[in-house]
Amino acid sequence: MRGRNRIWLLLVSLFSNAAWSDSQLNLTKGVTAISNEVYDLHMLVLYICTAIGVIVFGVMFWSIIFHRKSKGAKPADFHESTKIEILWTAIPVVILIAMAIPATSTLIAMEDNSDSDITIQVTGSQWKWHYKYFDQDIEFYSVLSTPREQYENHNGEPATRSEHYLIEVDKPLVIPVNKKVRFLLTSDDVIHSWWVPAFAVKQDANPGFINEAWAKVDKPGIYRGQCAELCGKDHGFMPVVVEVKSEEDYQQWLKEQQQLIADAANAEQASLSASMSKEELMQLGESTYLAHCAACHQPTGLGIPPAFPALKGSPIATTGSIEEHIDIVFNGKAGTGMQGYGKQLSLKEIAAVVTFERNAWGNDTGDLVQSADVKAASGE
Amino acid sequence: MTTDTLENTEHHEEHHAQPSGIKRWLYTTNHKDIGTLYLWFSFIMLLVGGGLAMIIRAELFQPGLQIVEPDFFNQLTTTHGLIMVFGAIMPAFTGFANWMIPMMIGAPDMALPRMNNWSFWILPFAFSILIGSFFMESGAPNFGWTFYAPLSTTYSNGSTAFFVFAVHIMGISSIMGAINVIVTIMNMRAPGMTYMKMPLFVWTFFITAYLLIAVMPVLAGVVTMVLTDTYFGTSFFNAAGGGDPVMFQHIFWFFGHPEVYIMILPAFGIVSTIIPAFARKKLFGYSSMVYATASIALLSFIVWAHHMFTTGMPLFGELFFMYCTMLIAVPTGVKVFNWVATMWRGSMSFEIPMLFSIAFVILFTIGGFSGLMLALTPVDFQYHDTYFVVAHFHYVLVTGSLFSIFAGTYYWLPKWTGHMYNQTLAQWHFWCSIISVNLLFFPMHFLGLAGMPRRIPDYALQFADFNKWVSIGGFAFGLSQLLFLAVVIKCIRSGEKAADKPWDGAEGLEWTVASPAPYHTFSTPPAIKDE
Ligand SMILES: [Cu+2]
Ligand SMILES: [Cu+2]
Q: Out of B326, B347, B460, whose CB is closest to A69? A: B347
Describe the strand order of the beta sheet including A221-226 as a list of residue ranges: A173-176, A239-245, A221-226
Residues 6 or more apart in contact with residue B211 via CB below 8 angstroms: B258, B261, B262, B265, B297, B300
Strands A180-187 and A118-125, by their bridges, are parallel
* Closest chain B residue to A40, measured at CA: B379
Q: Per-residue confidence at A19, pLDDT binned at 50, 70, 90?
A: very low
HSE of B420, CA atoms in CB hemisphere, 13 A:
14
What average pLDDT does this structure show over A233-238? 94
Q: Per-residue confidence at A76, pLDDT binned at 50, 70, 90?
A: confident
pLDDT of amino acid A265: 87
For residue A227, what are the CA distances in angstroms to A161, A186, B386, B390, B459?
21, 13, 10, 16, 12
Distance from the Cα of B3 to chain A's closest Cα (Å) equals 30
Distance from the Cα of A190 to chain B's closest Cα (Å) equals 6
pLDDT of amino acid B368: 95
Helix axes A322-331, A347-359, angle to 10 degrees: 130
Whether the Cβ atoms of residue B421 and residue B487 lie closer than 8 Å to each other:
yes
Protein fold of A25-68+79-112: Helix Hairpins (1.10.287)
Is residue A101 helix, strand or coil? helix
Distance from the Cα of A115 to chain B's closest Cα (Å) equals 18
Q: Out of A69, A197, A304, whose CB is closest to B382? A: A197
The verdict on whether B20 is a catalytic residue reads no
Closest CA to B151 of A143, A328, A209, A335: A335
HSE of B274, CA atoms in CB hemisphere, 13 A:
29
Whether the Cβ atoms of residue B102 and residue B110 lie closer than 8 Å to each other:
yes
Closest CA to A41 of A91, A115, A123, A110: A110
Q: Given an 8 Å threshold on Cβ–Cβ distance, is B151 in contact with A52?
A: no
Q: What percent of chain B has pLDDT over 90?
A: 91
The verdict on whether B261 is a catalytic residue reads yes
Sign of CA dihedral B484, B488, B489, B490: positive
For residue B471, what are the CA distances in angstroms to B62, B69, B403, B444?
9, 18, 20, 11
Q: Given an 8 Å threshold on Cβ–Cβ distance, is B344 in contact with A67?
A: yes
A333 CB neighbours in chain B (<8 A) are none
Residue B8: pLDDT over 80:
no
pLDDT of amino acid A159: 75
HSE of A163, CA atoms in CB hemisphere, 13 A:
1
* Closest chain B residue to A194, measured at CA: B310
Q: Report the largest interatomic distance among the alpha carbons of chain B, rounded to a whole angstrom.
A: 71
Q: Per-residue confidence at B1, pLDDT binned at 50, 70, 90?
A: very low
Residue scoring higher pLDDT (B10 or B504)? B504
Is residue B437 helix, strand or coil? helix
Domain over B32-254 is classified CATH 3.40.50.720: no
Q: Per-residue confidence at B531, pLDDT binned at 50, 70, 90?
A: low
Distance (Å, whole) CA B389 – CA B129:
29
Average pLDDT over all residues of chain B:
93
Question: pLDDT digits over B246-298, tens only?
Answer: 999 999 999 999 999 999 999 999 999 999 999 999 999 999 999 999 999 99
Distance (Å, whole) CA B130 – CA B82:
9
Closest CA to B141 of B130, B155, B149, B150: B130
Distance (Å, whole) CA B220 – CA B172:
9
Question: pLDDT digits over B92-103, tens only?
Answer: 999 999 999 999
pLDDT of amino acid A218: 93
Q: What is the pTM of this model?
A: 0.91
Describe the strand order of the beta sheet including A118-125 as a list of residue ranges: A138-142, A128-133, A118-125, A180-187, A211-216
What average pLDDT does this structure show over A299-317? 88
- Residue A75 contacts B where some CB pair is shorter than 8 Å: yes
What average pLDDT does this structure show over A264-284? 87
CA angle (A69, A73, A74) in 5-degree steps: 105
Q: What percent of chain A has pLDDT over 70?
A: 93
HSE of A248, CA atoms in CB hemisphere, 13 A:
0
A13-17, B236-240, B273-277, B437-441: which range is least confident on average?
A: A13-17
pLDDT of amino acid A337: 83
Residue A5: pLDDT over 80:
no
Ligand 1 centroid distance, CA of A129 (Å): 8
Query: Which ligand lies nearest to the CA atom of residue A189 in the structure?
Result: 1
Residue A364: pLDDT over 90:
no
Instruction: Determine which one of B79, B174, B342, B386 is catalytic.
Output: B174
Q: Per-residue confidence at A8, pLDDT binned at 50, 70, 90?
A: low
Question: What superfamily does domain A118-153+162-267 belong to in CATH?
Answer: Cupredoxins -  blue copper proteins (2.60.40.420)
Torsion on CA atoms B509, B513, B519, B521, rounded to nearest 10: -50
Query: Which ligand lies nearest to the CA atom of residue A207 in the structure?
Result: 1
Residue B188: pLDDT over 90:
yes
The verdict on whether B384 is a catalytic residue reads no
Distance (Å, whole) CA B457 – CA A232:
11
What average pLDDT does this structure show over B310-319? 95
Q: What percent of chain A has pLDDT over 90?
A: 60
The verdict on whether B387 is a catalytic residue reads no
Average pLDDT over all residues of chain A:
89
How many CB atoms are located within 10 Å of the residue A180 CB?
A: 16
The verdict on whether B57 is a catalytic residue reads no
Percentages helix, strand, coil for chain B (3-state, rounded to 5) are: 70, 0, 25
Domain ranges of chain A: 25-68+79-112, 118-153+162-267, 272-378
Residues of chain B with CATH 1.20.210.10: 32-254, 264-517
Instruction: Determine which one of B454, B455, B490, B501 is catalytic.
Output: B454
- Residue A334 contacts B where some CB pair is shorter than 8 Å: yes
Return the HEC string of B82-93: HHHHHHHHHHHH
Whether the Cβ atoms of residue A173 and residue A239 lie closer than 8 Å to each other:
no
pLDDT of amino acid B259: 95
pLDDT of amino acid B40: 97
CA angle (B50, B53, B56) in 5-degree steps: 160
Q: Given an 8 Å threshold on Cβ–Cβ distance, is B330 in contact with A93?
A: yes
Distance (Å, whole) CA B445 – CA B452:
10
Q: Given an 8 Å threshold on Cβ–Cβ distance, is A60 in contact with B369?
A: no
A54 CB neighbours in chain B (<8 A) are none
Ligand 1 centroid distance, CA of A127 (Å): 6
Q: Per-residue confidence at A4, pLDDT binned at 50, 70, 90?
A: low
* Closest chain B residue to A91, measured at CA: B330
CA angle (A192, A194, A200) in 5-degree steps: 145
Whether the Cβ atoms of residue B377 and residue B317 lie closer than 8 Å to each other:
no
Distance from the Cα of B84 to chain A's closest Cα (Å) equals 19
Mutate to test the interface with B, among A28, A32, A202, A338 (most CBs of B within 10 A): A202
Residue A18: pLDDT over 50:
no
Q: Given an 8 Å threshold on Cβ–Cβ distance, is A77 in contact with B64?
A: no
Residues 6 or more apart in contact with residue A95 via CB below 8 angstroms: A48, A52
Q: Given an 8 Å threshold on Cβ–Cβ distance, is B158 in contact with A73?
A: no
Q: Given an 8 Å threshold on Cβ–Cβ distance, is A42 in contact with B345?
A: no
CATH, domain range A272-378? 1.10.760.10
Task: State residue A176 phi and psi, 5-degree precision.
Answer: -85, 155
Distance (Å, whole) CA B96 – CA A163:
52
For residue A186, what are the CA distances in angstroms to A123, A204, A212, B168, B308?
5, 8, 9, 32, 16
A161 CB neighbours in chain B (<8 A) are 63-64, 461
Residue A353: pLDDT over 70:
yes
Whether the Cβ atoms of residue A240 and residue A195 lie closer than 8 Å to each other:
yes
Residue scoring higher pLDDT (B352 or A303)? B352
Q: Given an 8 Å threshold on Cβ–Cβ distance, is A200 in contact with B460?
A: no
Q: Out of B158, B346, B381, whose CB is closest to A75? A: B346
Ligand 2 centroid distance, CA of A232 (Å): 7
The verdict on whether B272 is a catalytic residue reads yes
Q: Tell me which of 1.20.1740.10, 3.30.1490.20, 3.40.50.1950, 1.20.210.10 is the CATH number of domain B264-517.
A: 1.20.210.10
Q: Given an 8 Å threshold on Cβ–Cβ distance, is B137 in contact with A305?
A: yes
Q: Per-residue confidence at B71, pLDDT binned at 50, 70, 90?
A: very high
What average pLDDT does this structure show over A238-254? 96
Question: pLDDT digits over B363-422, tens only?
Answer: 999 999 999 999 999 999 999 999 999 999 999 999 999 999 999 999 999 999 999 999
Q: Per-residue confidence at B13, pLDDT binned at 50, 70, 90?
A: very low
pLDDT of amino acid A9: 52
Whether the Cβ atoms of residue A122 and residue A130 lie closer than 8 Å to each other:
yes
Whether the Cβ atoms of residue B382 and residue A110 lie closer than 8 Å to each other:
no
Torsion on CA atoms B102, B105, B107, B109, rounded to nearest 10: -10
The verdict on whether B173 is a catalytic residue reads yes
pLDDT of amino acid A230: 96
A57 CB neighbours in chain B (<8 A) are 362, 365
Q: Per-residue confidence at B315, pLDDT binned at 50, 70, 90?
A: very high
Closest CA to A215 of A199, A203, A202: A199
pLDDT of amino acid A380: 60
Ligand 2 centroid distance, CA of A159 (Å): 28
Residue B521: pLDDT over 70:
yes
Whether the Cβ atoms of residue B30 and residue B18 lie closer than 8 Å to each other:
no
Question: pLDDT digits over A151-178, tens only?
Answer: 887 777 777 888 999 999 999 999 999 9
Residue B21: pLDDT over 80:
yes
pLDDT of amino acid B308: 96
Closest CA to A374 of A338, A323, A340, A334: A323
Question: pLDDT digits over B170-181, tens only?
Answer: 999 999 999 999
Distance (Å, whole) CA A41 – CA A23:
18
Residue B12: pLDDT over 60:
no
Burial A239-274 (b: 16+ CB within 10 A, else e): bbbbbbbeeeebeebbeebeeeeeeeeeeeeebbee
For residue B425, what are the CA distances in angstroms to B352, B433, B479, B483, B515?
10, 12, 14, 7, 22
Q: Out of B349, B373, B446, whose CB is closest to A69? A: B349
Q: Per-residue confidence at A79, pLDDT binned at 50, 70, 90?
A: confident
Distance (Å, whole) CA B248 – CA A92:
34
Q: Given an 8 Å threshold on Cβ–Cβ distance, is B385 in contact with A226?
A: no
The verdict on whether B145 is a catalytic residue reads yes
Whether the Cβ atoms of residue B354 and residue B275 lie closer than 8 Å to each other:
yes
B341 CB neighbours in chain A (<8 A) are 84
Is residue B243 helix, strand or coil? coil
Task: State residue B269 phi and psi, 5-degree precision.
Answer: -65, -45
A45 CB neighbours in chain B (<8 A) are 372-373, 376, 379
pLDDT of amino acid B162: 95
Size of interface A-B (CB pairs under 8 A): 294
The verdict on whether B15 is a catalytic residue reads no
What average pLDDT does this structure show over B190-199? 93
Residue A77: pLDDT over 80:
yes
Distance (Å, whole) CA B446 – CA B448:
5
Distance (Å, whole) CA A157 – CA A148:
12
Q: Per-residue confidence at A136, pLDDT binned at 50, 70, 90?
A: confident
